[in-house]
Amino acid sequence: MKLNVFSIILYVGTAVTVAALAYASYQSATVAWSVGICVAIGLVVYAFRFLPEPKKVARPVAAGPQRSPAASAAIVVAVIFGLMLIVPTVVLWIGNYSPELGALIGAVALMAIFLILWLRSRYQQSRSGEEG
């Protein structure tokens, strides 16, 4: 990455965040578990970049009414938003029994949003072969 003002801010911000998380992890086991979970999820997300590109598959045109891509995206966002409304209640309920498990469930729920959107984008990329 070429050094500019934004990359310097990114590097300094990352260093400060890492230092704050390291200090907080030293002070609290719950924070240490949360940081460890986030690092593990980050490694999994980093590993996703090594997956092959989706193949362009020509699909037959279906007869009948077609749903617009905007309507499909609105449905996906509405379902995700609706499910995210119950996540804090579930995390707090599980956190009463085990704070570490509550942090894990919360992290998995947040990453599930990005996983769903990532899978949808890969699906759209595979369908773009028939349009272009």
Q: pLDDT of 72-124, one tens digit each?
A: 778 877 888 888 888 889 889 998 998 888 888 888 888 888 887 788 777 77
- Burial annotation 81-115 (CB, 10 A radius, 16+ → b, else e): eeeeeebeeebeebbeeebbebbbbbbebebeeee
pTM here is 0.48
Q: Where are the beta strands (DSSP E) in 23-129?
A: none
Asked if residue 131 has pLDDT above 60, the reply is: no
Average pLDDT in the chain: 77
- Give the integer Cα–Cα distance in Å for 41 and 39: 5
